[in-house]
Chain A
Amino acid sequence: MPDAPRAGDTAPSLSGPTLSGAGFELSDHRERPVIVSFLRHAG
């Protein structure tokens, strides 16, 4: 597993289905700032 990216690095890719059934692609939002929050678990 790679180390977590650091500030200054290019963000890794992120894509996948969403709860609403739509798809998400981080690179589609390159014109805006984005908070990416990986949750530890439901609960």
Chain B
Amino acid sequence: MKVVSRRDRIDAAGGLVVFVVHDEPDLVREVMLDGVEEVPFPVVVDLERSAYERWGLQRVPWWRIWLDPKTWKQYVQLLAGGERVRGAGEDTQQLGGDFVVAPGGELVYSRPQRRDDRPPAGLLVEQLESAAG
């Protein structure tokens, strides 16, 4: 949710961010929103994962994530940067993804996850600003 810190730029572009989660709301509030009073953007709860399926986001075997050195490298970098280890959701095999939709409904950016990776928040905001014209 690092993109939330770019809210000024998102608002200036007339844009919106929507997060989609597949965990139970209580778990999301407890783990994901720990210390966050309010997320300024909608968080859609997709317990059935129908949206994940419709957007082609796969589940992968655990070893594809946890035996990937890049996953561990990311965790080390996060911890070195002051992040703390938090509990994970119930299903760690579901992959996510990031997309930018232009006015009118065309996708201008698509990045489904292949492992536990995400594009930089700044890149997503740049794509959004570009789509806004």
Contact = CB atoms under 8 A, between A and B. Distances in A.
Per DSSP, chain A at the interface is loop
Q: Chain A interface: which size bin?
A: 35 or more
Per DSSP, chain B at the interface is mixed
Interface string A23-43: 010110111111111111111
A1 B53 contact: yes
Interface of A: 1-20, 22, 24, 26-27, 29-43
Given A5-B55, A10-B107, A34 B15 contact: yes
Interface residues of B, number: 69
B37 interface: no
Contacts of B13: 33
Contacts of B108: 7, 33
A5 B29 CA distance: 29
Contacts of B132: 32-33
Interface string B69-109: 00000000000000000111111101111111111111111
Interface in B17-57: 17-23, 25, 27-32, 39, 42-46, 51-57
